[in-house]
């Protein structure tokens, strides 16, 4: 498959502060990647760097063959990067359906397909953002990104703080996106084994650098090594 995203020796951070150093990897169309590591090693910073929200100190970011290192965030979103941040960013005065339709762009993902993926949202379509549980808000955040019809989905801690039954629903949805829809996905997730079960490939960061890069199944099979690298279950 064709290369979709590539980072070439990317060094980035906030102002003069460097968070990511010499990060290089490539992702083909349809690939899925687990981005792992201890707290504070740069996982979220890598996602926001892809979205253009950090200062790029060096290196290059290529998207579908073009350099997007200096491209503003809104243009990256229009180009096909779909970002689901930890904070979810619900609007209390908008209904579920309004959250989805306000960002809709042409493509296969429409309301009908979203409600098939998340039946719970179909039931809550008239509820306001502040009337939803944390898990329902997370579903809206993912669905809203899908309604932009992205070519890649960037998921930042999608399971954080959610009840087990909601985690199961989200795992089912992400697995469907990866395995049946063939969507490119990068998942940042503290539950390393869960993230590895959803993806084809894994990268582990430590102090802003890549310290491990392999297929997910291999790392999942090496339990002791995984625990040493990420120090979480």
Would 63 be classed as within a structural domain?
no
Range of the domain at 182: 32-41+73-230
Distance separating alpha carbons of residues 69 and 29, to the nearest angstrom: 19
Residue 64 located in a structural domain? no
Q: How many CB atoms lie within 10 A of CB 45?
A: 20
Alpha carbon distance 103, 121 (integer Å): 16
C-alpha closest to that of 215 among 205, 202, 226, 227: 202
Question: Could you tell me if 33 and 66 are in contact, meaning their C-beta atoms sit under 8 angstroms apart?
Answer: no
Encode the chain (233 residues) as per-residue pLDDT tens digits.
789 999 999 999 999 999 999 999 999 999 999 999 999 999 999 999 999 999 999 999 999 989 999 999 999 999 999 999 988 888 999 999 999 999 999 999 999 999 999 999 999 999 998 899 999 999 999 999 999 999 999 999 999 888 999 999 999 999 999 999 999 999 999 899 999 999 999 999 999 999 999 999 999 999 899 999 997 54
67 occurs within a structural domain = no
Residue 224 domain flag: yes
Look at residue 60 and tell me if it is in a domain. Answer: no
Q: Which residues contact 140 (CB under 8 A, 6 or more apart)?
A: 88, 90, 96, 99, 100, 121, 129, 132
User: CA 23, 189, 129, 164: dihedral to nearest 10 degrees?
Assistant: 170
Whether 200 is in a domain gets the answer yes
d(Cα 118, Cα 60) in Å, to the nearest integer? Answer: 36
CATH number of residue 89's parent domain: 3.40.50.300
- Cβ of 165: how many Cβ atoms within 10 Å? 8
Asked whether residue 24 is domain-assigned, the answer is no
Is residue 48 in some structural domain? no
Instruction: Say how many domains are in the chain.
Output: 1
């Amino acid at each position: 498959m064709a290369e979709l995203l590539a980072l070439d020796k990317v060094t980035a951070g906030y102002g003069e502060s460097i968070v990511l150093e010499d990060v290089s990897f490539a992702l083909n169309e349809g690939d899925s990647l687990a981005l792992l590591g201890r707290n504070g090693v740069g996982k979220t910073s890598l996602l926001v760097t892809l979205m253009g929200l950090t200062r790029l100190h060096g290196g290059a970011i290529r998207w579908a063959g073009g350099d997007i290192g200096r491209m503003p965030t809104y243009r990256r979103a229009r180009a096909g990067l779909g970002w689901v941040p930890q904070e979810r960013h619900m609007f209390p005065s908008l209904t579920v359906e309004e959250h989805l339709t306000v960002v809709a762009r042409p493509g296969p993902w429409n309301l009908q397909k979203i409600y098939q993926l998340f039946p719970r949202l179909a039931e809550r379509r008239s509820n306001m953002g502040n009337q939803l549980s944390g898990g329902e808000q997370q579903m809206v955040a993912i669905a809203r990104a899908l309604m932009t019809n992205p070519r890649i989905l960037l998921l930042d801690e999608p399971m954080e703080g959610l009840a087990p039954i909601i985690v199961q629903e989200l795992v089912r949805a992400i697995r469907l996106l990866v395995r049946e829809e063939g969507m490119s996905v990068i998942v940042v997730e503290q539950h390393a084994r869960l993230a590895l079960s959803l993806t084809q490939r894994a990268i582990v960061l430590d102090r802003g650098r890549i310290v491990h890069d392999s297929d997910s199944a291999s790392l999942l099979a090496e339990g002791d090594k995984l625990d040493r690298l990420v120090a979480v279950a």
